[in-house]
């Protein structure tokens, strides 16, 4: 399995069992709950099961998934970023989430650029992102990545209105020329 290359400030690596406690904190962080939603994880066992049934199975079945974000000079998970093929979308969906100590420093954008580079190396032609209508911070990150707002949809799990953003591999190739 390939994973994203390191960035100037971040290492992106597959999530493992040792990350379960930080994943539990991230998925119960008030900002995550407000912007992404409640995954119902309440214990370390729940987090381990979530990793095993969600993130780890995607690595094997899809060749990509979500990756742990660590600062290059300081071990310890500060967030996640990666790709998922959702049943209700016609292309992989990029997503990210940071613990409070990683927010407001441009790390989401830095990590997402590394994940998009991996997507193009894997031969993906298009990547989507979904974001709540009121999550302007994430909308700005997506737009800085070159993603374009396409349409609205309702989240199948929550019924919440979402913007769908997209970026094509060909658009990235043109910017590199």
pLDDT digits (tens, 9 = 90+) for 19-40: 999 999 998 999 888 888 788 8
- Distance CA(46)–CA(170), nearest Å, equals 40
What are the tens digits of pLDDT across the range 128-144?
999 999 999 999 999 99
What are the tens digits of pLDDT across the range 37-72?
788 889 999 888 888 887 666 766 778 889 999 999
Q: Which CATH superfamily is domain 10-176 in?
A: Gcn5-related N-acetyltransferase (GNAT) (3.40.630.30)
At 91, phi and psi to the nearest 5? -150, 160
| CB contact at 8 A, 3 and 67 | yes
The DSSP result for 84-95, as a single string, is: E--TT-SS-EEE
- Distance CA(130)–CA(125), nearest Å, equals 17
| CB contact at 8 A, 85 and 93 | yes
Model confidence, pTM: 0.90
Which of 6, 32, 5, 13 minimizes the C-alpha distance to 137? 32
What are the tens digits of pLDDT across the range 72-128?
999 899 999 999 999 899 999 999 999 999 999 999 999 999 999 999 999 999 999
Query: Length of the chain, please?
Result: 177
| CB contact at 8 A, 165 and 129 | yes
């Amino acid at each position: 399995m390939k994973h994203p290359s390191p960035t100037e400030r971040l290492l992106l690596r597959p999530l493992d069992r040792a990350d379960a406690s930080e994943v539990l904190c991230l998925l119960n962080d008030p900002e995550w709950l407000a912007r992404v939603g409640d995954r119902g994880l309440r214990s370390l066992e729940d987090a381990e099961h979530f990793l095993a049934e969600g993130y780890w199975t995607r690595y094997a079945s899809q060749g990509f998934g979500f990756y742990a974000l660590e600062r290059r000079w300081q071990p310890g998970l500060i967030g996640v970023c990666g790709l998922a093929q959702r049943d209700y979308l016609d292309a992989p969906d990029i997503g990210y989430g940071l613990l409070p100590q990683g927010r407001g420093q441009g790390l989401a954008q830095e990590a997402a650029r590394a994940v998009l580079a991996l997507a193009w190396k894997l031969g993906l032609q298009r990547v989507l992102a979904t974001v709540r209508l009121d999550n302007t911070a994430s909308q700005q990150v997506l737009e800085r990545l070159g993603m374009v707002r396409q349409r609205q949809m309702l989240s199948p799990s929550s019924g919440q209105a979402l913007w769908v953003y997209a970026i094509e591999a060909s658009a990235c190739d043109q910017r590199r020329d």
